[in-house]
Structure 1
């Protein structure tokens, strides 16, 4: 009852919450659970914590930005894979001061829901190149869903992972993008426990969004391609000598992308490609035979081909 009372208090308090359709409120604001986490009486505490940040917000997007901007300093939880489990509830993450992407997403979603903002968890069980899973947050604004993360990018629908999400396979349960649902839905989201999590397959929306942003960047003359290939060694620099390597690209402290290099089984013209701004410096982080390493590169006006070696 306390969860219901506080949810309706938020709905009657904030202008954007009053305008949310019942179908959205009941599925993406009212629910007490986001994913497969243990139950937690979070709503009253979070209403008290986060309502102050949205008091002066004029629109739902203003409120989203305000919560996203302040959540880390409010709860003092940071990304750390040493957390006790993946699908932590808010109390578990706050008590440890750490969480991984699923726990961080649950924190942000509960903070948003506490002030009447529809939010849900989205993610993939495994990226298209088998680099592992990832979870993030979707928010509802005037009939459309947008994505963000606990550590926000420059705007909604921007993040380092979009290039990977844009290569999702809607026909593969392992490589699809899902958005969780409290009510029964068309499919289920592979969770971290035996708890069934209803979900919708939203892969195509991410594919379309990536293609749209990708084409816009290619038309923008201030961007170019950075192609990455890894060979087994310097004396094996031919297509048959290529090997898979997970590479993350950073600009300063901010990750702007990631992916896997092509193997010998892929087309000789298949490269790990990043679309980057010209006349900028970047850091590639990867692992070779010696362990984790990095390579700094500067991109000028022309496309840059970067060669890495495993041995």
Structure 2
């Protein structure tokens, strides 16, 4: 889920008054239970990627799962932690997918990428203890090849204190499910309904179902879990001038060997569910438009023997 603006829950309580108190208690109970049942580890290794790109569009995947899509114009620099994309210790795969910059037909000499795959032995260790495992850059002769797409696959090893393989082995290959696109769209419409009606409790129950794996992989403290839940739930709160837009221009995407599916915008790769909110601009190029927006693409899975989608 790509979220651009974080809204605190204080305003939610004010807007809903006493009626919201029950939801607040239920949410706190869910947070407490989620943290309590999340496995804890003394050894807390972290794996991540330092990303620098310009003059191209870029998508990065870890183990057949999208880490980030950088399809915006201009240069970009960021650090991404990849623990949440590692199922178990052993062989891992980093895939780098490069596309021409906006408006260009081929990847040209303006394209620049430098990725540093790094490892740190313990969460919270100082930066000077980080070890660079791999450095990835574009070949210097790429311009002459006139390519509209370029892919780099980098294997690496990871040693982590969890093993989620039993969970993933119990998931259905959604590519084999009849009318899967129709079913995914129907599920997304249900999620849009929860967001539109500000049904924060039901929305939280859905998105929190399997979050414990991510919280375990990032060794989250109770405060960090609380912050994460507040971040996740804000879409199903009564934001100012909130409007959940109809879905359009979306595509169906399978990952994790078909065990995960989601919808995304075909062009921007942003979330298929878009929300506009905030104050209304009264002048300028954006007159009449709301000042803020966010988008999300819930990851859907289906456990063997069940008929209802779950969120991942």
Please classify the TM superposition score into its range, dividing by the shorter chain length: under 0.3
Q: Give the number of the structure with larger relative contact order, counting CA–CA contacts within 8 Å between residues 6 or more apart.
A: 2
Q: Give the structure with the higher percent strand.
A: 2
| TM-score under structure 1 length normalisation | 0.22
